[in-house]
Amino acid sequence: MAEKAILYDAARCTACRGCQAACKQWNESDEGEGEKTTNFGSYENPRDLSPKTWLKMEFREVERNGKVSWLFSRRACMHCTDAGCVKVCPTKAVFHHELGFVAYNKDLCSGCGYCIEACPFNVPRLTGNRISGIGKMDKCTFCTTPNLDRVDNGQEPACVKTCPPHALAYGDRDKLVAEGRKRVATLQANGNSNAYLFGDKELDGLHVLYVLAEAPATYGLPINPKVPAASVVWQNVMQPLGWVLGGLTIVGLGLNFMVAREARLTKGLPGKKEE
């Protein structure tokens, strides 16, 4: 089965934020009290991703030939092939969907927060806190949330469906990569020498690809993103070692109790005089 992906063309984007609203509406993350927003001197709103905001449009001003212009970029889960969140999740709440992107079963989340530390894009957000043990992580699910699944029902993700300038496209990843390369070549031919297709090779391939008119760093994207080694070592080496040592400690205490009990029975119970 062909892997699926989303292609985001920053050169076509008008930052209308229709995708941002559609994401909240479809995934029902705007219910309840909602998320308070305030004017903080920017067209962006809210300030950052949160457990209720899985997709956020970012605005950047750049100077070109003495003129200031806007750069727009999409902030959300990048659905990596080499996904740090998948590697470190102890409950398998975060996993690779059969179509390649990173899906999420919130019911399995323990609120440990390892995924937050392992994400090179700083995307997952946690409600509550790790100490309480009642927190839950939230992020884009590629519109595969149980009972709200669009992709498995043959529909495109809500953000793609609502995009007025068609800056978002959904389909087979290999076809979108080919289309993205064509658009980058066109941008370069028109004078954007730094145009780049982000996600083609990064982290063994992302399932959200970006057609950028400038270098990735100009959009706030990391250069050569990598899964933090410390996160993987902790989850795959140190934590299992801790469980083993903890288990051995429990076994040792159990054996010590049994030996002590056997000795007491052999000599007679404490406080009982021998005849």
Task: Give 193-243 pLDDT, tens digit per residue.
Answer: 999 999 999 999 999 999 999 999 999 999 999 998 876 666 666 556 545
Give the range among 8-17, 163-172, 261-270 with minimum mean pLDDT: 261-270
Q: Could you list the residue range(s) of the whole structural domain that residue 252 is in? A: 228-275
193 and 130, same structural domain?
yes
Looking at residue 275, what is its pLDDT?
A: 46
Report how far residue 157's alpha carbon sits from residue 154's, in angstroms, rounded to the nearest whole number.
10
The stretch 110-138 carries a mean pLDDT of: 86
- The CATH number given to whatever domain includes residue 167 is 3.30.70.20
Question: Token pair for residue 87?
Answer: 């590697």
122 and 11, same structural domain?
yes
178 and 272, same structural domain?
no
Question: pTM for this one?
Answer: 0.82
Task: Count CB atoms within 10 A of the CB of residue 157.
Answer: 24
Report how far residue 79's alpha carbon sits from residue 170's, in angstroms, rounded to the nearest whole number.
14
211 and 179, same structural domain?
yes
168 and 32, same structural domain?
yes
110 and 6, same structural domain?
yes
